[in-house]
Copies of this chain bind each other. A is one copy, B any other.
Amino acid sequence: MEADVLARLVDALPEGVVVTGAAEMEKYREDFARDGSAGTPAAVVRAEDAAQVQVAVRWAAEHRVPVVPRGAGTGLSGGSSAVEGGITISLERMRAVEIDQACQVAIVEPGALNVDVKIAAAEHGLWYPPDPSSYEICSIGGNLATNAGGLCCVKYGVTTDYVLGMDVVLADGTLVRLGGKQIKDVAGLPLLKLFVGSEGTLGIITRAVLRLVPVQVAGATLVSAFPTMTAASRAVVAIRQRVRASMLELMDNTAINAVEDWRSHGLDRATGALLLAQSDATGAACEAEIEMIRECCEREGAAAVFTTTDPEEAELFVAARRNAFLALEQRGSVLFEDVGVPVPLLPALVDGVAGIAERCGVEIAVVAHAGDGNTHPLIVYDAADPGSDERARKAFHEVMALAIELGGTITGEHGVGRAKKPALPDQLGDDVMALTRRIKDALDPDGILNPGAIL
């Protein structure tokens, strides 16, 4: 890019909004996926409001410069990896959260963290359900861009289920306002839903209206130890037939030991697989649900079952599950899988992943939002060792191929980004890829928005 072109961007925005220093650029190059594709941006626009996003996008459109939108940079698929010579628009400064209690909605800027929305809602007795494990560090904008899931989704659904309205800056800099505070709205094409999960390839979200619901409290938590992931997965399938649990998570022996190595949560290192279930029913209904869950676990060979109604005790186990990513990262480099299958195929998926680990000679820890059939096989490897790197990447692609073979998906909640792009056509097929391309070309004819992500 010629210097005078960049200078025009710098001049068009208030001082400090556009940064170009090499050290700064380094900070914005990658997200948590560290997928290896990242270039160095020519500039980072740390926008303070939607108007500044529009200015930057208009400039990019005029000069055909790639634009990568970025929230907190905690993505696990390389969806906000910088493009060489492009600009990254960071939304980290736009973090206002306003609660409209009467309407039971949160009006949020994309840089606000998921936890900020939860805290603000709780002050009004309200709850924003979607809860990625990274909810304390990930941004709402990133959640919207990937249609993020989490632990409570098994009962309460994913991000798209809570979006009532959004402001989106399109590829030509136009800002469109979609939806609003009304709960039901079918006026016109469902454009709102098209942008949730579009990973910054169709527009940049600058504001969202999120639906809130009255606070729910987990009545009871059940923790069940199993000798194997297969047995634990079978229990999950059985539980889902009988109970609508508000949480249904799994972690395998490798994940348990990684968490214990990092910071002891009091887990038994000998456990083959740990199942965490919660019921947020009340009173006798809660007891009945927990009892049904216990029956399913015991029938599938649970070694030990523990239940508690103490929220603090429960949180120890849930935190262990949430911290698995962080703990695994202490052991080496990690490739983050996010494969999902129809729930009854969960045992086949975990068995298949174990086979891939053995065949490829890599360590794969598995944690899972098991009640939704969504698993995170985490491939731990040594990035400095070319052999280890190669084996890990082979396993990475084999796990995705396995999910597709089982009629599932390469990504349940993290997004395709750049890391999973090569496997996408295998899942979707040529016709759906062509349809995807048509939508992309219609909304971003010059291909400036997050080029290299998804397509």
Q: Which residues of A contact B (CB under 8 A)?
A: 101-105, 146-147, 149, 153, 157-158, 160-161, 170, 174-178, 180-191, 193-194, 196-198, 201-202, 213-214, 237, 240-244, 281-285, 340-344, 369, 372-374, 407-416, 420, 424, 427-429, 431-433, 435-436, 438-443, 454
A418 to B454 Cα, complex, angstroms: 36
Question: A192 — nearest CB in chain B belongs to which residue?
Answer: B193
Pairwise interchain contact B285-A184, C-beta atoms closer than 8 A:
no
A158 to B149 Cα, complex, angstroms: 19
Q: How many copies does the complex hold?
A: 2
Pairwise interchain contact B413-A373, C-beta atoms closer than 8 A:
no
Pairwise interchain contact A182-B146, C-beta atoms closer than 8 A:
no
Q: Which of B182, B196, B432 is A408 in contact with, Cβ under 8 Å?
A: B182
Q: Which of B242, B284, B435 is A282 in contact with, Cβ under 8 Å?
A: B284
Pairwise interchain contact B432-A178, C-beta atoms closer than 8 A:
yes
A284 to B286 Cα, complex, angstroms: 12
Pairwise interchain contact B374-A183, C-beta atoms closer than 8 A:
yes
Pairwise interchain contact A439-B436, C-beta atoms closer than 8 A:
no
Pairwise interchain contact B407-A181, C-beta atoms closer than 8 A:
yes
Q: Which of B104, B185, B194, B427 is A190 in contact with, Cβ under 8 Å?
A: B194
Q: Which of B416, B429, B441 is A442 in contact with, Cβ under 8 Å?
A: B441
Given contacts A181-B342, A182-B408, A441-B442, contact A213 B435 (CB under 8 A): no
Q: Which of B174, B178, B240, B436 is A191 in contact with, Cβ under 8 Å?
A: B436
Given contacts A146-B186, A182-B412, contact A194 B197 (CB under 8 A): no
For residue A101, which residues in chain B have a CB less than 8 angstroms away from its CB? 241
A103 to B175 Cα, complex, angstroms: 41
Can you name 21 A-B residue pairings with CB atoms under 8 Å? A157-B161, A175-B431, A176-B429, A177-B432, A180-B407, A182-B373, A182-B408, A182-B412, A183-B342, A184-B369, A184-B374, A184-B409, A186-B414, A189-B202, A189-B439, A191-B439, A194-B439, A214-B243, A281-B285, A282-B285, A438-B443
Pairwise interchain contact B415-A186, C-beta atoms closer than 8 A:
yes
A31 to B101 Cα, complex, angstroms: 40
For residue A411, which residues in chain B have a CB less than 8 angstroms away from its CB? 185-187
For residue A188, which residues in chain B have a CB less than 8 angstroms away from its CB? 416, 424, 427-428, 432-433, 436, 454
Given contacts A174-B431, A180-B408, A373-B184, contact A214 B244 (CB under 8 A): yes
Given contacts A344-B102, A372-B183, contact A435 B240 (CB under 8 A): no
Pairwise interchain contact B283-A187, C-beta atoms closer than 8 A:
no
Other than A157-B161, A186-B412, A435-B443, give 12 A-B pairs with Cβ distance below 8 A. A102-B343, A102-B344, A175-B431, A177-B429, A186-B413, A189-B194, A189-B454, A193-B196, A194-B194, A282-B284, A285-B285, A439-B442
